[in-house]
């Protein structure tokens, strides 16, 4: 395996671990095992590749996930601080304000004002409803991680290369399910800090090449919405979800990542206006 690909593969494993354990005590032993580096060298490689330290990345995960909870739920700030891994409200508020420039309580107030304004602007428009509520069963996936601007053409290039690699492994890319995991949200995260996993379901395919990342997507309940047309306009559908559906639904959104299932895409249709993307919003079951 080429050195660059080796580093990238190991770092993706580390990032995946940090995303799911950011609110716990991070195990240095586990990080060293996943990366095959000493912790000192891992810190150097991580900083060089992601342009931020492991500590800074974990803190960002904590406060940005807290921002999602503030946005989607009425939970007390003290409980949110505990949920994202802070021992007390003071430490949480200090880290939150350093990242966002305002306190958690002011952030919540600002969010409510923004959404209330959007709702008033669109009050003459029909309410926006989910297409269905569904339980997505556990899936085993081959994946690769993209870090950058979600709306850039770089993401298309990542998918193109990923598809080529998957075909070489024997994955039937034309018929297998493909979807993206949206770890960060544009209204919360910095433009160039989005993390996105391109995924192909491989329930019946054995992957023996250690170069490729495989993981299990656990069972979860979702509200499902459909976006028709180009990916460039998918932000409009998200705007409807957050400005209309969010404040009229009885469901509580979880601070887990959203999923995008590409049911009609450039691989099985020739016109962008025919593209069909199902957006899965995680909700409390």
Joined tokens for residue 110: 């600002």
Report percent pLDDT > 90 for the chain: 37
The per-residue pLDDT for 207 is 79
Mean of pLDDT values over 137-163: 86
Q: Which residue has the higher pLDDT, 194 or 88?
A: 88
From first CA to last CA, the distance across the chain in angstroms is 43
Contact 221, 134 (CB under 8 A): yes
- For the stretch 102-124, pLDDT in tens is 999 999 887 656 555 544 444 44
Q: Which residue has the higher pLDDT, 206 or 260?
A: 260
- For the stretch 232-271, pLDDT in tens is 888 788 877 876 787 677 888 887 889 999 988 877 788 8
Mean of pLDDT values over 6-32: 88
* The overall pTM is greater than 0.85: no
Contact 10, 32 (CB under 8 A): no
The per-residue pLDDT for 178 is 92
Give the helix/strand (H/E) hosting 235.
helix 234-243
Measured CA to CA, the distance from residue 240 to residue 161 in angstroms comes to: 32
């Amino acid at each position: 395996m080429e050195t660059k690909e080796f580093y990238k593969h190991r770092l993706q494993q580390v990032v995946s671990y940090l995303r799911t354990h950011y609110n716990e005590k991070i195990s240095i032993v586990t990080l060293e095992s996943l990366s095959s580096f000493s912790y000192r060298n891992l810190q150097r490689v991580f900083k060089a590749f992601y342009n931020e330290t492991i500590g800074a990345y974990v803190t960002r995960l904590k406060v940005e996930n807290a921002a999602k909870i503030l946005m989607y739920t009425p939970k007390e700030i003290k409980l949110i601080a505990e949920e994202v891994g802070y021992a007390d409200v003071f430490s949480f508020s200090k880290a939150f304000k350093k990242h966002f420039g305002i306190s958690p309580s002011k952030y919540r107030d600002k969010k409510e004002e923004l959404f209330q304004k959007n709702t008033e602007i669109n009050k003459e428009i029909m309410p926006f409803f989910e297409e269905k509520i569904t339980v997505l069963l556990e899936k085993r996936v081959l994946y690769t991680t993209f870090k950058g601007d979600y709306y850039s053409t770089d993401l298309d290039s990542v998918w193109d290369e990923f598809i080529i690699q998957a075909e070489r492994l024997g994955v039937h890319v034309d018929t297998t399910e493909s979807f993206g995991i949206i770890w960060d949200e544009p209204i919360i995260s910095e433009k160039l800090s989005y993390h996105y996993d391109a995924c192909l379901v491989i329930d019946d395919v054995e992957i023996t090449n250690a170069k490729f990342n495989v993981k299990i997507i656990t069972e979860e309940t979702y509200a499902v919405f459909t976006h028709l047309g180009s990916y460039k306009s998918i932000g409009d559908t998200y705007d409807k979800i957050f400005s209309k559906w969010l404040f009229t639904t009885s469901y509580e959104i979880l601070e887990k990542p959203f999923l995008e299932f590409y049911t009609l895409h450039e691989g099985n249709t020739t016109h962008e206006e025919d593209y069909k993307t199902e957006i899965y919003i995680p909700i409390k079951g």
